[in-house]
């Protein structure tokens, strides 16, 4: 059965490594898995008072995530944690109370950095939120992609064989995880 995955990118910079990595990984998806980026740039900061008359951007975002079968997060680390823009998107999607769009959707987490550590802090802080949001999250392979600047080509493909093979395996494993833990 085909599945569609909403991809959330944790950086708003137009040429961010996370966006380029997300685009590269979309190309590595196995048959039956389609992926598309859901934009988080225009989401006003979450404010519960706003639920009386929700901003259109909140409503659109919630609908986009709701219709997806699973979610893939591709994110840098900001200040040893999840970027505020990505956390805000998570907060917006989790509300109003009882209407979270995340609930039950299988999730994958891909953190990355030009440096060596590969966004470990963002990766695990994000995973802690996914517990609360009841998203069955793929454990292995973990992806902390260091040196991301050295593996991306101008056309947003993975130029290093070992990395491409690793990420292709990740996508295949993630597809199987969605099949096993997602909605029937």
Contact 178, 107 (CB under 8 A): no
Residue 137 binds a second copy (CB under 8 A): yes
Rule CB under 8 A: choose which of 8, 23, 68, 89 binds a second copy: 89
Q: Is 184 in the site for a second copy (CB under 8 A)?
A: no
**Residue 59 contacts a second copy per CB under 8 A:** no
* CA atoms of 122 and 109, how far apart (whole Å): 10
Which class for 74: exposed (0-12), middle (13-18), buried (19 or more C-beta within 10 A)?
A: buried
Q: Which stretch binds a second copy (CB under 8 A): 21-29, 62-70, 82-90, 159-167?
A: 82-90
Q: Does 162 bind a second copy (CB under 8 A)?
A: no
Rank residues 7 and 92 by Cβ distance to a second copy and give the closer one: 92
> What is the spatial distance between Cα 6 and Cα 38, in angstroms, rounded to a whole number?
6
CB of 165 to a second copy, least distance (A): 18
Q: Which is nearer to a second copy, 31 or 184 (CB)?
A: 184
Q: Which of 2, 53, 56, 180 binds a second copy (CB under 8 A)?
A: 180
Structure tokens at 49: 């008072």
Answer yes or no whether residue 54 interacts with a second copy by CB under 8 A.
Answer: no
42/103 Cα distance (integer angstroms) = 23
43 near a second copy, rule: CB under 8 A: yes
User: At its nearest, how many Å lie between a second copy and the CB of residue 31?
Assistant: 23
Distance CA 134, CA 125 (A): 15
CA nearest to 145, candidates 116, 121, 108: 116
Q: Pick from 55, 120, 168, 172: which binds a second copy (CB under 8 A)? A: 120
Q: At what angle do helices 84-93 and 56-66 cross, to 10 degrees?
A: 80
The verdict on 178 binding a second copy (CB under 8 A) reads no
Identify the CA nearest to 138 among candidates 110, 100, 113: 110
Distance CA 178, CA 17 (A): 25
Q: Name the site residues for a second copy (rule: CB under 8 A).
A: 11-14, 16, 41, 43, 45-49, 78-92, 94, 116-118, 120-121, 124-125, 127-137, 139-140, 142, 144, 146, 180-181
């Amino acid at each position: 059965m085909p599945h569609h995955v909403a991809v959330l990118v944790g950086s708003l910079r137009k040429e961010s490594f996370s966006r380029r990595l997300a685009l590269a990984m979309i190309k590595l998806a196995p048959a039956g898995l389609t992926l598309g980026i859901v934009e988080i740039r225009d989401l006003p900061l979450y404010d519960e008072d706003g639920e009386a008359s929700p901003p259109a951007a909140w409503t659109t975002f919630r609908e986009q995530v709701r219709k997806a079968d699973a979610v893939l997060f591709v994110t840098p680390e900001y200040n040893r944690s999840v970027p505020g823009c990505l956390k805000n998107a998570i907060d917006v999607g989790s509300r109003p109370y009882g209407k979270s769009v995340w609930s039950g959707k299988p999730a994958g987490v891909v953190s990355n950095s030009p440096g060596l550590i590969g966004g470990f802090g963002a990766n695990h802080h994000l995973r802690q939120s996914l517990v609360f949001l009841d998203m069955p999250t793929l454990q292995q392979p973990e992806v902390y992609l260091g040196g991301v600047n050295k593996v991306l080509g101008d056309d947003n493909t993975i130029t290093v064989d070992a990395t491409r093979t690793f990420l292709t395996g990740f996508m295949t494993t993630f597809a199987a995880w969605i099949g096993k833990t997602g909605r029937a």
